[in-house]
Homo-oligomer: A and B are copies of this chain.
């Protein structure tokens, strides 16, 4: 029996256009350690948009084809084409994570054991009706977990856990998070409450402050308030947080956080050094909500670092054994700490409507799309 289904791919063409389309693909015969999963639910994460849109200017997007077989085209500014060199002329499958039901399995015991089960999945290419992948990329779920509950079992949960893990590994005891009212931020808030870790939530709007307060967050600072630097310094003195994870990236927020950390560190020390406190302060940038340059004022001594942070390098550093342990924790917490909420469900074709693209590419706090690949357009 041949299994066939739709797959979404994103293609950068030599003529400076991006093309996103659906195609019907046939699943291979699964190898002994592989299974074929009927994908029932897969989220659109901010981290999926990079591969989906590439360096294209999505304001130029147009649709051709039909509602059932839409083709989205958009212009790529010529000066950004070098960024896409490695993916040029290759139709890239998209979608970092998802969940579904195992409908075929290879000959190994591990594969056979998953037959008929609902599993979470990592590994890319999830914006499809079927996905053939290794057993090791599947998360075995507790009885009664639905695909929608498990669709976001990987990116956000492992990112939240990775932040806490990084905090501990690098010798910090509390942490700061920006864009803290996001889906990820809410999850991190639940995780930190569960683990008794002090979390300083930085938001940009009063309603985000209220939302987090309702979710039990104790320490929230609004970066648009006139009193922000004082508020944050006070929060840092109280919590002792010396590491921050920043989803914004551009502007001077990272620099302001480092400065407040330095002022907080000096408040609890009487030693003078011209080079500032010897308390090491770190900001990891993991998102780019502001694509502009990061402005570092360097008025916080010499014990500081700013760097990129991402799930995959973290996983590589943590090692397979540790990731397996974290995955077990995620599976057990998918309905509580690691639960995700969606504001809209779309089919694969609907995800390629101009209206939907305009909406999910805004990355509005609290809004999240779930693709259900087998629903009808």
Contacts and interface: CB of A to CB of B under 8 A. Distances in A.
Contacts of A278: 312-313, 316
A323 interface: no
Contact of A308 (B85, B285, B303): B303
Given A272-B86, A293-B296, A310 B302 contact: yes
Contacts of A297: 293
A92 to B, nearest CB: 8
A357 interface: no
B306 A302 contact: no
B303 A305 contact: no
A50 B274 contact: yes
A306 B306 contact: yes
Contact of A275 (B87, B304, B312): B312
A307 interface: yes
Interface string A67-88: 0000000000000000101110
A298 B302 contact: no
A244 to B, nearest CB: 14
Contacts of A313: 278, 280, 302-303
A168 interface: no
- Chain A contact-residue range equals 35 or more
A327 interface: no
Contacts of A294: 295-296, 298
A286 B275 CA distance: 11
A253 interface: no
A145 interface: no
A288 interface: yes
A239 to B, nearest CB: 22
Contact of A266 (B54, B86, B304): B86
A253 to B, nearest CB: 13
B295 A288 contact: no
A304 B313 CA distance: 11
27 contacts: A54-B274, A83-B299, A86-B270, A87-B274, A249-B298, A255-B293, A275-B310, A275-B312, A278-B312, A286-B302, A293-B296, A293-B298, A294-B296, A294-B298, A295-B295, A295-B296, A296-B296, A296-B306, A302-B308, A302-B309, A302-B313, A303-B308, A303-B313, A304-B307, A305-B306, A305-B307, A305-B308
Given A294-B296, A302-B313, 13 more contacts: A50-B274, A54-B274, A86-B271, A87-B274, A250-B298, A286-B302, A293-B295, A293-B297, A295-B296, A296-B306, A303-B313, A305-B305, A306-B306
